Amino acid sequence: MYSGECLCGTVMYQVNTAISAIECCHCQTCRKAHSSAFAIGVTIDASSFQLVHGEDSLQAFESSNGKFRVFCKHCGSHIYAYRPQQPNTLRLRAATLNTDLNQFSIKHIYTENRINLD
């Protein structure tokens, strides 16, 4: 089991599934949504995600047709994304996990949009 929270600690959650790998998405939409060179995420079963605190502090934004990004309306931390047409999965933003991310293997996706950071 993993726990996670937003930057201000208002939204807290638990994940009850094994996570072995996380993905760094370099698509332009993720870069804009996270104001970063890439977003770190993992797709999990929606049933394994449980909000512990702060449900009333969540705000959703439809960033592209049929994709909603959910964030803390107080500090702006992006917690997860979902698509209503795929109700069994959600895309957890792994940077909000309260664990050492070095324990996971890393996969880069949409690298055709990757920024050369060297």
Prediction pTM value: 0.87
Q: How confident is the model at residue 86 (pLDDT cuts 50, 70, 90)?
A: very high
Domain ranges of the chain: 2-113
Across-strand partners of 22?
106
Tens of pLDDT, residues 2-34: 999 999 999 999 999 999 899 988 888 888 777
The answer to whether 43 touches 94, Cβ cutoff 8 Å, is no
Q: Which two tokens stand for residue 106?
A: 């890393």
Q: Which two tokens stand for residue 7?
A: 């930057």
**Residue 8, amino acid:** C
Question: Which CATH code for domain 2-113?
Answer: 2.170.150.70
